[in-house]
């Protein structure tokens, strides 16, 4: 599927995946099917409701370890998104805040040990361990909860393999001048990324409960996440 077709598909279903449904789930899910889902999960260009979440292994440079998604099966509910720290339009900070608020809810309600938050960068050249640490601190991430992982692929080739090929998150490196709007107050450096945001909610059994295309409403994600974690 080419990029234009892909973005058209995710745009058409973004609203549907932001909507929640706390009704009866399937054999593999706790939540019900998202309301008004525009296509069957198998017809979407990324893992979606009721499908097995693909496995990947990536370094967590802040904790000096690797993280394999399947390691959380049977143990933790996972919320995973994809960002880069120099994102100029607020999308990546908004996605990070969605995860951070879910983390805060887990801590407040005592299920932080049953949750995992994975924020994966695709800017492997600039998002070093120190940059990711400072970004997380600025976003209010609680590192002491020991359930947050910034993941950084080892190379651009590996980033494409995992972020795009495995999880269906298209991104394109562009000149900052190609971005719409006034970003004069933001230091983007020599390049920026055109990307479409997706966030995954995965249950303990390793199945996708939600694939939120676009920037989802924080309260909806927190509600969905806590329902799956505490259900």
Q: Which residues are annotated as a binding site for Cu cation?
A: 87, 92, 195
- Cβ contacts of 147 within 8 Å, gap of 6 or more: 76, 103, 106, 112, 113, 115, 116, 117
Alpha-carbon distance of 228 to 143, in angstroms, equals: 23
List the Cα angle 69/66/201 in 5-degree steps.
Answer: 25
Query: Which of 22, 141, 41, 30 lies closest to 77 in space, CA to CA?
Result: 30
Other beta carbons within 10 Å of 64:
8
Query: Which residues line the annotated binding site?
Result: 87, 92, 195
């Amino acid at each position: 599927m080419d990029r234009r077709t892909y973005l058209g598909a995710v745009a058409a279903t973004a609203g549907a995946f932001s909507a929640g449904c706390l009704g009866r789930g399937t054999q593999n899910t706790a939540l019900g099917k998202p309301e008004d889902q525009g296509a069957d999960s198998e017809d979407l260009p990324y893992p979606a409701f009721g499908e097995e979440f693909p496995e990947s292994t990536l370094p967590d440079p802040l904790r000096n370890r690797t993280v394999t998604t399947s390691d959380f099966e049977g143990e933790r509910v996972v919320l995973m998104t994809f960002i880069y720290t120099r994102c100029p339009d607020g999308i990546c900070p908004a996605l990070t805040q969605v995860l951070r608020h879910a983390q805060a809810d887990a801590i407040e309600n005592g299920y932080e040990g049953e949750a995992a938050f994975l924020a994966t960068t695709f800017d492997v050249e600039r998002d070093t361990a120190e940059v990711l640490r400072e970004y997380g601190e600025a976003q209010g991430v609680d590192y002491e909860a020991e359930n947050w992982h910034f993941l950084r692929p080892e190379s651009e080739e590996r980033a494409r393999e995992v972020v795009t090929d495995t999880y269906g998150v298209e991104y394109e490196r562009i000149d900052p001048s190609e971005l719409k709007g006034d970003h004069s107050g933001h230091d983007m450096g020599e390049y920026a990324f055109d990307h479409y945001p997706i966030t995954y909610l995965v249950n303990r059994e390793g199945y996708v409960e939600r694939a939120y295309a676009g920037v989802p409403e924080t309260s909806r994600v927190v509600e969905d996440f806590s329902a799956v974690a505490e259900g």
